[in-house]
């Protein structure tokens, strides 16, 4: 087991602060457990990756990896497996110009990480990468917390972008996650946008629909005129670093309760939660009641507000 990676009985993830401080260390604990890593290392680069030519031997591999990702214009967060280094997996968060957070996971021997371990790590990164980026960047660069305008773009019914803003020079990593790339809507939002288009079709004309995700607030409105329907998308990153992972630690949630919370934040009903998690609707309702009790919430709306940090904001 990785030093600093602790799985408690239920289980819950936590971190020993003397070994791995802050959000990046917490994320490393979680990924180490999922990947079955035996140790990890962390690096933070507030102003972007250093040049490999100016680094010492111990830092050169990190700098070369980040340089290669930048040259390929690789979207972040990213996962890179380096088998030639004896079994190393790198997870990179942030933006290429900084701040950057990097986790290196290692296993002993020459076997490297097995395909199921890599696949499980990639699935978790795909699902929670945006929330983790928020959390890590929130600590590294607090001035980027919802400091600029929402990301806005126009799509058609097939989710193809037809109009999008040019990235700004001072874009934060949070905004880069939600901009269309290479003629496609952001992968993190594809499922949500499909659902919202369906909801909008059943709504009165002129009405907008929205969805609170664990990492952002998404709003969709149909543009007036034209024979083909086009939709204006507005994506506002969540104000606080409240995520499912953070909520699990803050409220002492079990892993299953964390899974149910993730479904609640997507707007799923108890029946849909049961189908998604392969549990009965009554079991989903039981876990939902546990969530309400542990977070001292009266209903789903209040639960969402607490987890996303909006209630803290309005009480100030």
Give dist(CA 289, CA 232) in Å, integer.
36
Which residues are paired to 249 by β-bridges?
none
Structure tokens at 91: 């997870």
Angle between helices 281-294 and 270-277 (to 10 degrees): 110
The answer regarding whether domain 6-143 maps to CATH 3.30.450 reads yes
Give dist(CA 60, CA 42) in Å, integer.
14
Structure tokens at 117: 């371990």
Give dist(CA 265, CA 307) in Å, integer.
9
Amino acid 302: pLDDT: 77
pTM of the model as a whole = 0.49
Same fold: 6-143 with 145-237? yes
No. of helices (H) and no. of strands (E), the chain: 11, 11
Mean predicted confidence (pLDDT) in 77-87: 76
Q: What's the fold here for domain 145-237?
A: Beta-Lactamase (3.30.450)
| Residue-level length of the chain | 316
Tokens 């497996």 locate to: 81
SS3 122: helix
Least reliable range by pLDDT among 15-24, 170-179, 238-247: 15-24
pLDDT tens digit string along 257-300? Answer: 888 887 787 667 888 888 888 899 899 999 999 999 999 988 88
Amino acid 171: pLDDT: 63
CATH classification of 244-315, choosing from 3.40.50.1000, 1.10.10.10, 1.10.1740.10, 1.20.20.10?
A: 1.10.10.10
Least reliable range by pLDDT among 96-110, 113-127, 192-206: 96-110
User: Where do the domains of the chain lie?
Assistant: 6-143, 145-237, 244-315
């Amino acid at each position: 087991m990785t030093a600093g990676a602790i799985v408690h009985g239920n289980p819950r993830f936590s971190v020993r602060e003397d070994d791995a401080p802050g959000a990046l260390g917490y994320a490393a604990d979680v990924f180490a457990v999922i990947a079955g890593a035996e140790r990890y290392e962390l690096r933070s680069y507030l102003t972007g990756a250093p040049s490999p030519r100016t680094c010492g031997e111990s830092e050169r591999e990190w700098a070369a990896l980040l340089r290669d990702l930048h040259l390929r214009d690789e979207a972040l967060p990213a996962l890179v497996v380096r088998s030639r280094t004896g079994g190393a997996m790198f997870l990179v968060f942030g933006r290429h110009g900084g701040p950057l957070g990097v986790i290196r996971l290692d296993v002993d021997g020459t076997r490297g990480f097995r395909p199921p371990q890599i696949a499980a790590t990639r699935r978790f990164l795909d699902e929670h990468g945006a929330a983790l980026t928020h959390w890590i960047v929130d600590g590294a660069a607090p001035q980027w917390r919802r400091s600029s305008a929402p990301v806005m773009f126009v799509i058609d019914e097939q989710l193809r972008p037809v109009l999008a803003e040019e990235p700004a020079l001072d874009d934060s990593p949070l905004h880069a996650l939600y901009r269309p790339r290479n003629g496609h809507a952001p992968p993190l939002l594809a499922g949500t946008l499909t659902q919202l288009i369906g909801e909008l079709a059943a709504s009165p004309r002129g009405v907008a629909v929205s969805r609170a995700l664990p990492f952002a607030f998404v709003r969709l409105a149909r543009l007036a005129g034209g024979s083909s329907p086009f939709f204006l998308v507005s994506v506002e990153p969540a104000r606080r670093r409240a995520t499912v992972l953070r909520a699990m630690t803050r409220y002492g949630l079990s892993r299953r309760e964390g899974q149910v919370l993730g479904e609640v934040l997507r707007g799923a009903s108890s029946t849909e939660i049961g189908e998604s998690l392969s549990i009965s609707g009554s079991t989903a309702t039981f876990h939902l009641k546990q969530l309400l009790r542990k977070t001292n919430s009266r209903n789903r709306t209040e639960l969402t507000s607490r987890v996303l940090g909006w209630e803290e904001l309005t009480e100030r």
